[in-house]
């Protein structure tokens, strides 16, 4: 699946979502409001910023769109890994994700009670790492960097309730997702025949839980391509303001 297709599909979903929002009717009193903006503070633990906009369409149904951004940095809690694995500690990563969803509430009204939320998510991850490989019992490094694009769909289960005037607490409990991924990382380094063979063996020995990986190594460096299925879990805690 090509990247430009996923971009077009995500853009189409966003346009459709906002078109639905523009045609939404007001439900509840004017004081309550049919809109909500939300900050998901649970993502701060993973060095990410996550926010969401939600709008009521029916008495117990809303549509929304979420945005997540992680600036380039080391892995969360990587400081505890430095002594155990320097290679993991060298990893730098960033990501961005857009998540349209529809929510169906089971409480007394919209924005209240337990909910089920089908969603789709487009995400792009960037990473760089000093990849280690052994040549004649000597550790060598090659700098690799690249990106991975994923497109997934899933269903989120959660609960939301009012904690103050116009202020709500949202607990996104469990949201399994599944889809496909496509990406590539590469690095340049002059390699002799022995170094090429050692690096190729190291890369081919990587065992991925999902997807397929293929590697190419020559005298100028290495390229690794990823594609195939992708899965994940969505969960968070958020504070919302209704207007």
Domain boundaries, the chain: 3-19+32-128+147-182+228-242
Q: The whole model's pTM is what?
A: 0.81
CATH domain 3-19+32-128+147-182+228-242 topology? Porin (2.40.160)
Binning pLDDT at 50, 70 and 90, where does residue 205 land? confident
Q: How far apart are CA 27 and CA 37, in angstroms?
A: 17
Q: How far apart are CA 97 and CA 68, in angstroms?
A: 5
pLDDT averaged over the chain? 87
Binning pLDDT at 50, 70 and 90, where does residue 2 land? very low
Residue carrying structure tokens 């189409």:
12
Phi and psi at 109, nearest 5°, equal -160, -175
Q: How far apart are CA 221 and CA 16, in angstroms?
A: 44
Do the Cβ atoms of 21 and 34 come closer than 8 Å?
Answer: no
Q: Which residues contact 19 (CB under 8 A, 6 or more apart)?
A: none
Evaluate if residue 204 carries a pLDDT over 70.
yes
157-171: average pLDDT:
96
Do the Cβ atoms of 110 and 134 come closer than 8 Å?
Answer: no
CA distances (Å), origin 38, targets 8, 74, 111: 26, 26, 12
Binning pLDDT at 50, 70 and 90, where does residue 30 land? very low
CA distances (Å), origin 61, targets 58, 107, 193, 232: 5, 11, 62, 25
Q: How far apart are CA 200 and CA 3, in angstroms?
A: 27
- Most distant pair of Cα atoms in the chain: their distance: 74
């Amino acid at each position: 699946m090509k990247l430009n297709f996923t971009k077009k599909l995500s853009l189409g979903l966003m346009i459709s979502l906002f078109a639905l929002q523009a045609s939404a009717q007001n439900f509840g009193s004017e004081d309550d409001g049919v809109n909500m903006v939300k900050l998901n503070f649970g993502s701060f633990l993973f060095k990410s910023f996550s926010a969401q906009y939600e709008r009521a369409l029916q008495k117990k149904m809303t549509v929304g769109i979420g945005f997540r951004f992680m600036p380039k940095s080391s892995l969360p809690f990587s400081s505890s890994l430095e002594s155990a694995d320097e290679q993991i500690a060298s990893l730098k990563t960033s990501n961005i994700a857009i998540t349209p969803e529809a929510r169906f509430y089971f409480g007394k009204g919209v924005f209240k009670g337990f909910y089920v939320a089908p969603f789709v998510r487009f995400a792009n991850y960037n990473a760089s790492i000093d990849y280690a490989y052994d040549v004649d019992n000597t550790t060598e490094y090659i700098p690799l960097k690249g990106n991975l694009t994923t497109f997934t769909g899933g269903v989120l289960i959660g609960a939301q309730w009012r904690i103050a005037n116009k202020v709500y607490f949202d607990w996104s409990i469990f949201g399994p997702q599944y889809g496909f991924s496509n990406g590539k990382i590469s690095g340049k380094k002059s390699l002799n025949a022995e170094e090429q063979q050692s690096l190729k063996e190291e890369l081919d020995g990587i065992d991925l839980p999902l997807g397929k990986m293929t590697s190419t190594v020559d005298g100028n460096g290495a390229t690794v391509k990823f594609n195939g299925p992708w899965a994940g879990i969505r969960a968070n805690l958020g504070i919302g303001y209704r207007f």
